[in-house]
Amino acid sequence: MAARLLPDQVFVSEGRSQDLRAKSIRGGLASLSAQAGVLGLQMVGVVVLARLLSPGDYGLVAMVAVVVGFASMFRDAGLTYATIQRESITREQVSTLFWINIAVVAALGLCIFASAPLLAAFYHRNQLTGMTIVLAGAFVVNGLSIQHDALLRRHMRFGALAIEQVIAQAFTVGAMITAAFMGLGYWALVVGSCVSALTTTLMSFYLCPWVPDKFRRGTGVRGMLRFGGDVMGFNLVNYFSRNADNILIGRFIGAEGLGLYSRAYTIFLMPLTQIRGPLADVAMPALSALREQPERYRRYYAHLVDSVSTLSVPLAMYTLVEADFLIHLLLGPKWIGVVPVLRILALIGLVSETAGTRGAVLLSQGLSRRHFKWGVINAVVLVCAFVTGLPFGIVGVAAAYAVASYVVLLPSLYYCFAGTPVSVSLFLRALMPSLLCAAPAALGALAVTSQLGTSGLWAGIASSTVFFAIYGALTATRRPVRDDVSLVMVELRSRVRATQKDGDVG
């Protein structure tokens, strides 16, 4: 398989800053293609499982997911980014980081296992005990390949990572649907997590066939551990702030409310995460390679913001306008309570995914401590907002989240970009074209809705078609988009020629 990282390539650092735009296009194309496949598989799972499982089933799993996700913030000890960001690395250093990761993952798995009865008592749900124990095992398995994936990202082998993600998602969705048809209820979602962990780990070992050496002292990882500690600290406070709403809703409103809220959050995040995640993964090693070249760094970051916003802004705007249609189409009428929450979260999504690229700036510049401090500030603001909105139900929590997100937006950008090659004005200039293209598209969709009504399959299809037709037409006039499309087409043609050549040889 051509996408594999060969053993003699693992620790080569020369040439990282060469031909970055072409590498980024290839990596972004591979990642986004994979994410399209993953998203399609996820949507199949969402549609089928919504008709086989209840909101309460999702609520139970969401209660455990808070604990497992919290532990995940410590799982890599921030060492994934330390491996990616480092200018050069050695076999001894990465082997040492591997064994540190294994020790951390094993300890966290035991903590999750031990928390099972406490979690059941906190939520007054005995079912959580067995679920937590099983998910603790899946957590450990999933943590075995942390450094293997980091090496693939460092070398921008996003084709390999794309293969891993699609295969793992296919097995996961298949396992969940099969278990749900067998009548296993919420256990179907647990089975999916276990299958995902096992498949991902096995694929990582295959795609990066590196075998670590034994643990050694004095390998020069102290600075990498400090960097990783700051990243881990940010991940910790960020995860707590992002999940404090789930904790509060589950404890004070109940499983039904949490099930509705978590479904809205999943539908809101699912397509957006498939966009920013791959593009940020591609950008991190590229920006790290350019940190001593400020002008190239600025151009690359502006292009990153433009790329993320070109894809994420229309999806958020579309969700804001078409929330009713989406929920009826994907989940069915029993999930209608998701609609107002989904609309509010979509409003956040207009800028949140693009603003999330500030983390790539801080980490690629080596400003891990500032990254951690920003995480603490943001966590305090969001938790206060969630508590404020809680008396007004899940809609109140979502509305408070939206207000807080926009209040901190500009101050956060000034704080994060200070002393870096990037400026707030550069960020806003790169974001604005997508907003200006999405606004007329939303007005066009609303005009169709006002004529045909908000209910009915054909009305939703008509307004959706108008939205994406207008946005596509306006976006096609922009030169950066045309340039990217041209590079993508060149890459696709080269792949077709390579495939034809291989076929002729065969």
DSSP 249-317: HHHHT-HHHHHHHHHHHHHHHHHHHHHHHHHHHHHHHHHHHTTT-HHHHHHHHHHHHHHHHHHHHHHHH
Q: What is the pLDDT of residue 119?
A: 87
Cα Dmax for the chain: 71
CA distance 256 to 50: 14
Of the candidates 352, 356, 345, the residue with the CA atom closest to the CA atom of residue 397: 345
**385 with 439: CB under 8 angstroms?**
no
Between 65-74, 216-225, 333-342, 451-460, the lowest mean confidence (pLDDT) is in 216-225
pTM of this structure: 0.66
DSSP code string of 384-430? HHHHHHGGGHHHHHHHHHHHHHHHHHHHHHHHHHTTSS--HHHHHHH
* Single-letter code of the amino acid located at 239: Y
Section 35-53 average pLDDT:
81
Asked whether the predicted pLDDT for residue 288 surpasses 50, the reply is: yes
Q: What is the pLDDT of residue 496?
A: 45
Q: How many CA atoms lie within 13 A of 447 on its CB side?
A: 10
**352 with 278: CB under 8 angstroms?**
no
**357 with 308: CB under 8 angstroms?**
yes
Residue 182 burial by Cβ neighbours in a 10 Å radius (0-12, 13-18, 19+): exposed
Q: What is the pLDDT of residue 278?
A: 66
DSSP code string of 26-90? HHHHHHHHHHHHHHHHHHHHHHHHHHHS-HHHHHHHHHHHHHHHHHHHHHTTTHHHHHHH-S---
196's CB contacts (< 8 A; 6+ apart) are: 138, 142, 168, 169, 171, 172
Asked whether the predicted pLDDT for residue 271 surpasses 70, the reply is: no
Q: What is the pLDDT of residue 230?
A: 79
Asked whether the predicted pLDDT for residue 459 surpasses 90, the reply is: no
Between residues 161 and 28, the one the model is more confident about: 161
Q: What is the pLDDT of residue 499?
A: 45
148's CB contacts (< 8 A; 6+ apart) are: 204, 205, 207, 208, 210
Quick: pLDDT tens for 180-224: 988 888 899 999 989 999 999 998 888 888 888 777 776 666 666
Q: What is the pLDDT of residue 195?
A: 93
CA distance 144 to 97: 12
Asked whether the predicted pLDDT for residue 340 surpasses 50, the reply is: yes
Q: What is the pLDDT of residue 133?
A: 92
Tell me the percentage of the chain whose pLDDT exceeds 70. 82
Most confident of 84-88, 159-163, 217-221, 355-359: 355-359
